[in-house]
Amino acid sequence: MTATAALPATAPRMLMVKGALVLSLTAVLAVSAHVQVPFWPVPMTLQTLAVLAIAGLAGPAVAGAAMLAYIAEGAAGLPVFASGGGIAYLAGPTAGYLAGMTVAAVLVGALVRRANGHVLATAGAMLLGIAITYGAGAAWLAQFVGMDKAFAAGVAPFLLGDAVKAALAAALVLAAKPLARG
């Protein structure tokens, strides 16, 4: 028996559906990266809102796959990142934020699934996702500008906005839960 013979007839169809979903989510991530307020060295975008919402709605595997596909698209030169695309972005000042968002997407997806609609647990998962993103992003950015400047330029100006984005993502996920059942 071959490996493909062991799969149900719907497996290829399901893989195609999940692949299409992942690619659609990369488009959402790309659009969210381009909705921005200019800051230096990291622009303020809607990307954290998108990552958190995707994680909470799609779950850890799909959210993680979407982030990895998004990063691959950007590395390949597609202009999906806030300031364009290309392999240099994976070594530039914002690379840590991309890595942090990837880890956050998987962790938030898993925690929201475990929260099972609990408001505080869902909100806590979103805030943890923001903290992971900042932690990885600031640690990487510090290699370019030092930790004091990394915090001052890459974390502090975004705290209020990202708290609002975390609340919006939690509300969106919690509001969508009953819709998914019905």
pLDDT tens sequence across 77-98: 999 998 899 999 999 998 999 9
User: Over the stretch 94-115, which tens digit does the pLDDT of each residue have?
Assistant: 899 999 999 999 999 999 999 9
Indicate whether this model's pTM tops 0.85: yes
What tokens does 48 get?
A: 């954290």
Domain boundaries, the chain: 8-176
Top-level class of domain 8-176: mainly alpha
Residue 64: closest CA among 25, 113, 36, 11: 25
Amino acid 6: pLDDT: 55
Amino acid 182: pLDDT: 43
d(C-alpha 106, C-alpha 116), whole Å: 16
User: Over the stretch 105-158, which tens digit does the pLDDT of each residue have?
Assistant: 999 999 999 999 999 999 999 999 999 999 999 999 999 999 999 999 999 999
Amino acid identity, position 151 = F
